[in-house]
Structure formats: C-alpha cells, structure tokens
A and B are shown apart, each in its own frame.
Chain A
Amino acid sequence: MKTVLLLLAMLIPAVFLGCVNSDDYLFDENDARDISIDAFMTESFDTAYTRNKTATICPGDSLIFLTEIYPSKSIRRTRYYWTLDGKPFANEYSFKNTVTEPGSHKIAFVFVDYFGDTLSDTLHLYVATPPSLVTENIIPANNSQEFSPNDIISFAWTADDPDSLWDVFYHFKLQEASSAGQDSSKILVDTVITKTNFSYLGELKPLTKYQWVVSASNELNQSSRDTVYGTLFTAGYAGEGGVQGNLAASSNEVGLKYHLILQDSLEQTVVDKIQESSGFGQAFFSIAPLVPGDYLLKVSLDSYPDFGEVSTHAKVINNKLTLLDTIRLIDNVKTAIRHVSNNDSLDIADTLKFIVKDGGGKVLSSRISVRLESIVIPEIFLDNDTLVVPLNSIGAALNQSWSTRTLIVTTLDMSGNKTTRTFFLRPNSTLPEVIQ
C-alpha cells in the first residue's frame, strides 16, 4: 500500500509537469523591448525651449538637466545617477543645477537596468566667463585731434579674460564718420584679430572725423557686454582747421535742404552751401579747410520759413576740427487755415474750400481732419494748398438746418504743431420749415 501511495505521489507532479509547455519559458527576442536613454540640457521646462546635448553657460547660470527613458521611466531598474566629470552630480531624472568651475565639462546620465546592463548618455557643458572690455582705457583717447593724415595710427584697448582658457577675438572696425548716427560711413578696416592693438598704415583724409569700434568674443561665441567706441580727428595739411556738427529740424520730413552760410570775423561769407538731410530731419556737415579764426555760422531752411534762421559762433583752431553742438531748427508756427472767402461764417454748400498753408513743410491730407460738430467728414482732399470739403458726403445732416452749425478744421504740421479753426455754417432753413 505504501509503495502504491509513493508511486502516486511521484506520478502526479510528473503529469502536471508534462502539461506545461516548456517553450513558453524560452527567450524569444521578438518579445524583448530595447531600452534606451537620452539626456538633455535646457533653460526651461517649457517645451518651447530647445533641448541640447552641448551648451555654454556663464559660471553660476542654472541649467535644467532632463532625461528620457524608452520605453518608460517606470521600467524595472537597478539604479540611475548623473556624474559631472566622473564625480557624482545628481540622483534624479530631471533637476536644475549649475556648474561654477570654468572649463569644459562632461556630464553623464547613467542608467543600470534590472539585468545590470549599463546605459549612459553624455552631455558637454562649457562654463565660461565672456571677455570684457574696459571702455575708458583706449588709445587714442576719445575725441583725439591733430592726427597727421599720413602717419601710422596705432590703436590699443584693454580687455579682461578672467578664465584664461579660451581664445579671445577682437572685431576691430575703423570708418570715416561721414554722417551723424548713420551707417553710410566709409569703412576703412573691418577685421577680426587676436591681440588688443591694431596699427592702421593707410592714408586718411585731412580734417576728417573717424570712428573706431572694438567688440570682443571668445571661441565659445560669448561676446563682451561692452563695446569700445572711439573717435579721432585728422589734422590739416598746412595749418588749417575746420568745423563740424550735426543739424536737426523739428520736422520729420526727409530731404530737408539746410542752407549754411559761414562768415569770418569781417562778416565776409567764406562758405555758402546747401546740406541735404539724409533722413528724418538730421544732417551732418563738415566745413574744412578753414583759416583759423572766429566765424559765424548761419543755418536756415530756405523752403520752410517757419523754422527761421539759427546762428552760432565757431572758433576754428589750427589743425583741429571744431565740433559744434547740434544746431536745432525749430518750427513753432502753426498751419494757417482760412476759407477761400476769408470769412468765418459760411453758407452751407455741397462743397466748401479752404486754403491751408504751412511754412514748415508739406501739409498732408492724412494729417487734416474736418468735423461737423461730432460728425467726421470723410473724403476731404487737398488740391495743392486748397482743402476741399464735400459737405454732401455726410448725407442729409445739413439738408434742412434751422440753427448755426460749427465746422471744425484741425491740422497737424510736420513739426507736430496742431491748429484748430472753427467756422460757422449759417442756417439754410427756419424752424417752422423743418417742423413742417
């Protein structure tokens, strides 16, 4: 009996074992899913910000370090961590941190899966301080005069590269400052160099203003916050001087023609010239060579009498360019508006005509508005200096008017002077007629 029971006990598990398909437990590579990881750096968790494998920051700037695990961060794993140059850095999937030590750093994300396989992704982070320029320490000092046009001119500036790890480049530009605040200047040198000085060997024009500009950047494309700006002036050939300056008018009109008259101390006109503005009322003038002495400069806009004439004294010094403060011409005169009949009280008509005149520039229909009380009259137009106001364009509002109505004409000239003129429209009907 005992033997039978023993046999049964051995047979039952054997039967169960026989029912199980052992193939189910064999590894099938089709069922396997690859695990991969990806690490990034970004400035913000916002998805609009780009995610990079390489980044450059200033020491102390924060960066966000992110990871993506495929197929999912919830897969079984042993551990994961970040290293900075091989040393422990963090133990999170995503975190915000900074690196303060200047240099090239390798930041690795390491992921050890359930089976002990190690995956890693490496990021490259450059920590660098941008070069800086000391704007006040320059050779030649700003506004230096009397440089001989034939001499070699050497420029020098002072810069700081706190890390001393990166190549620093200087963008040097030398140009003739032929116009005020505009980039139409003639460029003589535009180069990138690695030293903090530059010698210009070419010739320069006599009694001319030149501007030089230096900016710095390192090999990581980090630029200096400041830019060096310097100006210098060349001397004359035979002891002459000159005078330079900027002209500005309150008008925004392009192409203003400034009339410059320069008189010497004997009130003899030495220079009489027209200088056209290059845009928005601004112009730059240079008068040279001149015999040293005292001069009177008169500036006017002949086409626009509203600006009047401005006079200024200029002392011309041997071998120097005298720089005058900006000469500003201001138009305070408003636009003149009158009806063709010269009357303020007008009869109602289909069309009214007004004369609009301004001595400070063109009058534009877009800067004129005409209202019948609160009703804006559309379709007004200018025929030279005649303003045509089609009253019939507002429909039946004036068909039967038993009271005096006001018509308001407003203009804004090119210098911003606003003129408002009110005209009175006589009734063209009586109250009983209107009530009928």
Chain B
Amino acid sequence: MAGCLLWGCLDIPSDPDTSSLVTSVSIFVEQYGKKDSTYFKINSNDSAAIVAKVHPQKAQKDLQFYWINGGEILDSGSTYLIYIKEYPFVPDSLVIVDKEGNKIGQRIRLIVNAPPTLSPKTVPADGDTIVASRDTPIQFQWKSFDPDYIDHLSHTLVLDGVHYELDDITSIKQSGFGKGKHLFKVIVTDAYGDMDSTRTQSFYVIAPKENN
C-alpha cells in the first residue's frame, strides 16, 4: 500500500508539450530507391522523399507530421516529397503532434547537392594519334562543371593506371610515353564526395620521323 503511494508520487506526468506515445522518431531520405539516414544527402537533379517513422509503429496513424522550413509549414504527412523545382526550399525540421496536442520536434540537416559533371570532350580525344618522342610533353585537358557553383572540385588524372591527384588543375602536360596505345581517364569529385568521370579513353603515340 505504502509502495503504491510512493510509486504514485514518483510517476511525474509528461510535459504537456511532449508526445507521451512516441518513444523515438527515425527520419531518412529516399532517392533512386536507396534510403539514407546517415548523410541525408540528396541529388538536386532529381526528386526525392523524406520519410519519418515513429516507434512504436502503431502510434504512427494517430500522429500529425508537419514539415517546417524557417518556421513555416511546408507540408504535412509522414512522407515529404521534394520535387526538382523546389530546391532549395526543403524542410529544416519536422514536428510530430499527437491527438492530445503533445509535440516532438526534430531538426533535419539535408545536404542538397548536384554532383559535378565532366565534359566528354577531352584533349586528347578518345582514339587520337599523337606524334611525340618520349621526352615530348602531351597536353591533357578537360572541362568540369558543378551546378552548385560554390563547390571546390578536385580532379584525378589516371594515366596508364597511375592516379595523379591534381586538385583544381584541368590542364597538364606529361611526357614519357613510348610508342603505342595509352589509356587515360579523368575523375572529378566535389566537396561532398559526389563524382563524375570520363570513360577510360585511349590515345596512340607514334615516334616522329625526323627529329629536326
């Protein structure tokens, strides 16, 4: 009897502003059929969805989900669909409200990033034949583009299987090529790790007939 009394005293009622039903909320983004609950990264070139799931799951149907941006409600429902044209107006928080008006709020930090792209046109072009002796430098040049503009792009030139980290260099001369077929490829990576690459291209080196 005394124990029950004590227990009753210790059972402090929930904060009226906090949902008493929901124990946890998990949020993930879904794009191209892949779920991401770690980086919350979305490719801004395509539609995506942000999905909220609560535990226990049976509580989900009795809850209201509000997707917020800058204090304004963008939409409601446990799934928020992002269309290409909506970028960068994406939710920065989610508020879940139960029947009693209790609320749970969660901040969302989405990375909306457009991967960099490389122009398929390179120097040398795929299949080019170049007249060069072993000590003649051959120009390698390419163009990269980042739709986000502000990203720093890093380039990797793969020459005959050797990777050279070139940072922001998009034009470089290399020599030492013997006669025959050689392979090269360019990879561009942005600050978020998104990348693009040319396909592996080949060029052929032939020795000059006369050296003067």
18 A-B pairs whose Cβ atoms sit less than 8 Å apart in the complex: A139-B164, A140-B173, A141-B175, A143-B135, A144-B174, A144-B175, A145-B135, A145-B175, A152-B171, A154-B172, A156-B165, A156-B172, A158-B162, A158-B164, A195-B165, A197-B164, A292-B212, A318-B211
Q: Which of these, A146, A197, A233, contacts B167 with CB under 8 Å?
A: A197
Q: Which of these, B135, B165, B176, contacts A197 with CB under 8 Å?
A: B165
Q: Which of these, A139, A141, A142, A315, contacts B212 with CB under 8 Å?
A: A315
Q: Is the CB of A154 within 8 A of B171?
A: yes
Interface size on B, residues (CB 8 A): 19
Give chain B nearest CB distance to A296 CB in angstroms.
16
Q: Which residues of A contact B136 (CB under 8 A)?
A: 144-146
Interface SS, A side: strand
For residue B171, which residue of chain A has the nearest CB? A154
Q: Which residues of A contact B183 (CB under 8 A)?
A: none
Q: Is the CB of B212 within 8 A of A316?
A: yes
Q: Is the CB of B172 within 8 A of A139?
A: yes
Q: Is the CB of B212 within 8 A of A199?
A: no
Give chain A nearest CB distance to B105 CB in angstroms.
38
- Is A293 located at the chain interface by the 8 A CB criterion? yes
For residue A294, which residue of chain B has the nearest CB? B212
- Is A317 located at the chain interface by the 8 A CB criterion? yes
Q: Is the CB of B169 within 8 A of A293?
A: no
Give chain A nearest CB distance to B135 CB in angstroms.
4
Q: Which residues of A contact B164 (CB under 8 A)?
A: 137, 139, 156-158, 196-197
- Is B137 located at the chain interface by the 8 A CB criterion? yes
For residue A144, which residue of chain B has the nearest CB? B175
Give chain A nearest CB distance to B133 CB in angstroms.
8
Q: Give complex CA distance A101, B212 in Å.
A: 58
Q: Which of these, B137, B169, B211, B212, contacts A156 with CB under 8 Å?
A: B169
Q: Give complex CA distance A74, B162 in Å.
A: 62
Q: Give complex CA distance A140, B174 in Å.
A: 5
Give chain B nearest CB distance to A358 CB in angstroms.
43
Q: Is the CB of B212 within 8 A of A197?
A: no
The bracket for how many chain A residues form the interface is 20 to 34
Residues of A within 8 A of B (CB): 137, 139-147, 151-154, 156-158, 195-197, 199, 233, 241, 292-293, 315-318, 320
Q: Is the CB of A147 within 8 A of B173?
A: yes
Q: Which of these, B137, B163, B171, B172, contacts A146 with CB under 8 Å?
A: B137
Give chain B nearest CB distance to A197 CB in angstroms.
5
Q: Which of these, A137, A195, A315, contacts B211 with CB under 8 Å?
A: A315
Q: Which residues of B contact A146 (CB under 8 A)?
A: 135-137
- Binary contact track B165-200/A, C-beta < 8 Å → 1, others 0: 111010111111000000000000000000000000
Query: Would you list the 3 A-B pairs with minimal beta carbon distance, nearest first?
Result: A141-B176, A292-B212, A144-B175
Q: Is the CB of A154 within 8 A of B173?
A: yes
Q: Is the CB of A199 within 8 A of B165?
A: no
Q: Which residues of A contact B212 (CB under 8 A)?
A: 241, 292-293, 315-318
Q: Which residues of A contact B166 (CB under 8 A)?
A: 154, 156, 197
Q: Considering the complex, which residues of chain B in the window 139-157 have a beta carbon less than 8 Å from any beta carbon of chain A?
A: 157
Given A293-B212, A317-B211, the answer on whether A144 and B165 have CB atoms closer than 8 Å is no
Q: Which residues of A contact B173 (CB under 8 A)?
A: 139-140, 144, 147, 151, 153-154
For residue A195, which residue of chain B has the nearest CB? B167
Give chain A nearest CB distance to B70 CB in angstroms.
38
Q: Which residues of B contact A199 (CB under 8 A)?
A: 169
Q: Give complex CA distance A65, B36 in Å.
A: 48
Q: Which residues of A contact B157 (CB under 8 A)?
A: 139, 156
For residue A199, which residue of chain B has the nearest CB? B169
Q: Which residues of A contact B165 (CB under 8 A)?
A: 156, 158, 195-197
Give chain B nearest CB distance to A134 CB in angstroms.
8
Give chain A nearest CB distance to B168 CB in angstroms.
9
Given contacts A140-B175, A156-B157, A320-B135, 18 further A-B contacts (CB under 8 A): A139-B157, A139-B174, A143-B135, A144-B135, A144-B173, A144-B174, A146-B136, A151-B173, A154-B166, A154-B171, A156-B164, A158-B165, A195-B165, A195-B167, A199-B169, A233-B135, A241-B212, A318-B211
Give chain B nearest CB distance to A219 CB in angstroms.
19
Given A293-B212, A316-B212, the answer on whether A140 and B137 have CB atoms closer than 8 Å is yes
Q: Give complex CA distance A241, B135 in Å.
A: 14
Give chain B nearest CB distance to A402 CB in angstroms.
77
